[in-house]
Amino acid sequence: MMRILKKIFLGIIISGITINLTGCEKNHKEIIRIANNQAADHPTNIGLRAFEKFIEGKLGNKYDVQIFPNELLGSQVNTVELTQTGAINFTVASNAILESFDNIYQVFNLPYLFSSPEQYHRVMDDSEIMDPIFKSTKKSGFEAVTWLDAGTRNFYTVKKPINSPDDLNGLKIRVQQSASNIRMMELLGGAATPMGFGEVYTALQQGVIDGAENNELALTSNKHGEVCKYYSYDMHQMVPDILIGNEKFLSNLTPKEREIFQEGFKIISKTQREAWGKAVTVAKEQAKEMNVKFIYPNVEAFKEKVLPLHKEVLEANPKLKPIYEKIQEVGKQLGEEKSNG
Ligand code: GCU
């Protein structure tokens, strides 16, 4: 039912977009459409709403920012395509699925790439590392404008708790639609079942899959904790979400407008990050009330199985090597800072 409603809604939006493109806009404002697949009260959406307020405060006579949460414009794979063609202006996309649009993003899908949230944040905030990556996808029709925290990904299951990689044997686990994630599951011994985020709840409920992997908010905001009662902190990935914009739209902004947009992107990331920390704490409490049991397995056992993927990916995609090395340097630097107190 939900899916049919979404399809109808998407149809209306797309025809609206066509009408706009033909110049029949009522108030002569240019609509900026931003898609995302999270609930309206999710930190990501809160960040986007702060952007809407900021842009409309500064450029409200020209732009009307409209945000479409809850996969209203389709799954992330669809909304990246809509952003590439310019049918919409921006979408939030998990780094996981971006790798099939531009393989530079493969690097952030590597399991156990970062050894701490501090390293993850420092790398993602480092414009020297990130700017060239964000800009390098212009040939793919989009440019990344900021990143959003999506925490740490862990396995969660309906019936069988995951205490070691062996427990994944033979289990059907939903992964994001990315070759790296499929390969990661293969190395861990589970059966990877790729699908869009919005399909996961029903798939869990109907027993199509035995579990999935995500941050804690999936249990509460997406209600997966209603079905999955075991959440296992194996910490296999910190996969960022990336806000991407249509290349043509961004390059047509005047320098002054671009400056304002850049400020707006910073506001998204700041607002989202502040909301994120609190949201994870609340989600854990809520999940416990839903009778989800949190498990703390030996992480090293999982690491051992998937680390060969680093070499495999770097050999197949050598342009990732300098980025990978810089990430290691940041880790080393952090370690030295810690040991110097
Ligand atoms: C997280 C992430 C989303 C992603 C989802 C998924 O919620 O923030 O961007 O779509 O995981 O597993 O698909």
Two domains, one topology: 2-149+240-281 and 153-238+286-339: yes
Report which protein residue has its CA nearest ligand 1's atom 3: 94
For range 147-155, the mean pLDDT: 98
Q: What is the pLDDT of residue 19?
A: 46
Task: List, for residues 223-278, the tens digit of each pLDDT value.
Answer: 999 999 999 999 999 999 999 999 999 999 999 999 999 999 999 999 999 999 99
Q: What is the pLDDT of residue 341?
A: 77
Identify the three-state secondary structure at position 227: coil
State the pairing for strand pair 153-157/230-237.
Answer: antiparallel
- Look up residue 189 and give its amino acid: G
CA-CA distances (angstroms) from residue 203 to 119, 173, 174, 180?
34, 10, 9, 22
Question: What residues does ligand 1 touch, defined as CB less than 6 Å away?
Answer: 37, 76, 94, 150, 176, 197, 214, 218, 241
Specify the CATH superfamily of domain 153-238+286-339: Bacterial extracellular solute-binding protein, family 7 (3.40.190.170)
Percentage of the chain surpassing pLDDT 70? 92
Backbone angles phi, psi at 174, to 5 degrees: -70, 135
Asked if residues 74 and 112 have their Cβ atoms less than 8 Å apart, the reply is no
Report which protein residue has its CA nearest ligand 1's atom 9: 94
Q: How far apart are CA 157 and CA 6, in angstroms?
A: 28
- Asked if residue 92 has pLDDT above 50, the reply is yes
Q: What is the pLDDT of residue 13?
A: 58
Q: How far apart are CA 317 and CA 98, in angstroms?
A: 15
- Yes or no: is domain 2-149+240-281 CATH 3.40.190.170? yes
Q: How far apart are CA 100 and CA 177, in angstroms?
A: 9
- Asked if residue 5 has pLDDT above 60, the reply is no
Domain boundary assignment for the chain = 2-149+240-281, 153-238+286-339
Tell me how far the alpha carbon of residue 197 lies from the centroid of ligand 1, in angstroms.
Answer: 6
Ligand 1 pocket test target in 78, 94, 180 with most atoms within 8 Å of CB: 94
Of ligand 1's listed atoms, the one at least distance from the Cα of 150 is 8
Question: Residue by residue, what is the 3-state secondary structure of 188-206?
Answer: HCCEEEECCHHHHHHHHHC
Task: List, for residues 16-72, the tens digit of each pLDDT value.
Answer: 554 454 334 556 899 999 999 999 999 999 999 999 999 999 999 999 999 999 999
Least confident residue range of 18-32, 78-92, 118-132, 215-229: 18-32
